[in-house]
Amino acid sequence: MAHKVRFALDAMGGDHGPAVVVAGANLALAAHPESEFLFFGNKMLIGPLVDARAALKQVSRIIHTDIAVRMEDKPSQALRYGRWKSSMWLAIDAVKKGEADVVVSGGNTGALMAMAKFALKTLPGIERPAIAALWPTLRGESIVLDLGASIGADAEHLVNLAVMGAAMARILLSLERPTVGLLNIGVEEVKGLEPVREAGRILREEKMPGLDYRGFVEGDDIGRGKVDVVVTEGFAGNIALKTAEGTARQIGEYLKGAMTRSLGAKIGYLFARSAFRQLKERMDPRRANGGVFLGLNGIVLKSHGAADAEGCAAAIGLGYGVVRDELLAKITAAIGRPGKAQRQALGGAAS
């Protein structure tokens, strides 16, 4: 690839604003020296932070704006006052204009999605974008999507999610033909599952070269790593993600409590502290920080609002890989796959 990876960073996004975004970029630069950064936001706040880091300063430019999207705003509100001028909008616009390769923002997810959709538009054949993320499993990592970009899904949308998720898995997990499962529940009532079943039928029959469809999976199969790509609509996907985060935090608290309750436990903790440190790292949500918006004419990454500098650096690092390996071009090629046009012309499967 000819040029460096150029990041458009919404410096005002997230709970901690520029301090974390600039520090995160600095960490990411050490890991990926072939990076350049555009920081969007309040120059008075960002300037001194960048100036204090010589190497970062050399590859950074600050684009000033007074306006920042608030975490509590509805997408419609954010669009109304933040369009054309907020740090979030300007970062997305830089990707649209070709001045940057990828947006990273820790801001309001709904606003980020609404602005990204408005500015970048969806890819041909994709009606609704999705949010995908890496999910740590017992086998390594899987990709789960959609994590909340859209609620409900018809069969065609689920198939598109499978195709986009598989493209992402080929790149980020270095797999030639990732396995794909549709998230479903064991208990059955025929009606509600129809789009999921129909999507399963399409995936089974089309036998696409880039993915290996393995049927339905249940919630407990995600952590087990049963498939490389788990596909679901956004409501259930978001609830699965948040529930897993909550459960991990809950068990972490139990563990902390158990290890301080008795003298024996405290001594045991001392002996095993390097093991506990490893465990903590494995459970660290920062390692998997970064939701990738798929299905748009441009790559947008959502970093967790509460992320610290390391979390922010992980999201930027994810963006680096996604740009270097040309995720966007590969998704665009994959969704234009044969078979789909005929199916849509018949009007059958898409409903």
What residues line the site for its own copies (CB under 8 A)? Answer: 74-75, 109-110, 113, 131, 137-138, 148-152, 183, 185-189, 191-193, 218-224, 232, 234-236, 238-251, 253-255, 258-259, 261-262, 264-265, 267-276, 278-279, 282-283
Structural tokens at position 221:
């199969």
Output 274 or 342, the one with its CB closest to its own copies: 274
Output 47 or 268, the one with its CB closest to its own copies: 268
Output 223 or 339, the one with its CB closest to its own copies: 223
What does 78-139 look like in DSSP terms, one character per residue?
A: HHHHHTTTSHHHHHHHHHHTTS-SEEEE-S-HHHHHHHHHHHH-BPTT-SS-EEEEEEEETT
**Nearest partner of 295 among 141, 98, 116, 171, judged by Cα:** 116
Q: Give the integer Cα–Cα distance in Å for 142 and 179.
A: 10
CB of 246 to its own copies, least distance (A): 3
Output 1 or 272, the one with its CB closest to its own copies: 272
Q: What is the DSSP letter of 153?
A: -
CB of 11 to its own copies, least distance (A): 22
CB of 184 to its own copies, least distance (A): 9
Strand (E) or helix (H) holding 142: strand 140-145
CB of 108 to its own copies, least distance (A): 9
Cis peptide before 66 (omega within 30 of 0): no
Q: Give the integer Cα–Cα distance in Å for 26 and 41.
A: 17
Output 155 or 323, the one with its CB closest to its own copies: 155
CB of 266 to its own copies, least distance (A): 8
Strand (E) or helix (H) holding 249: helix 234-258
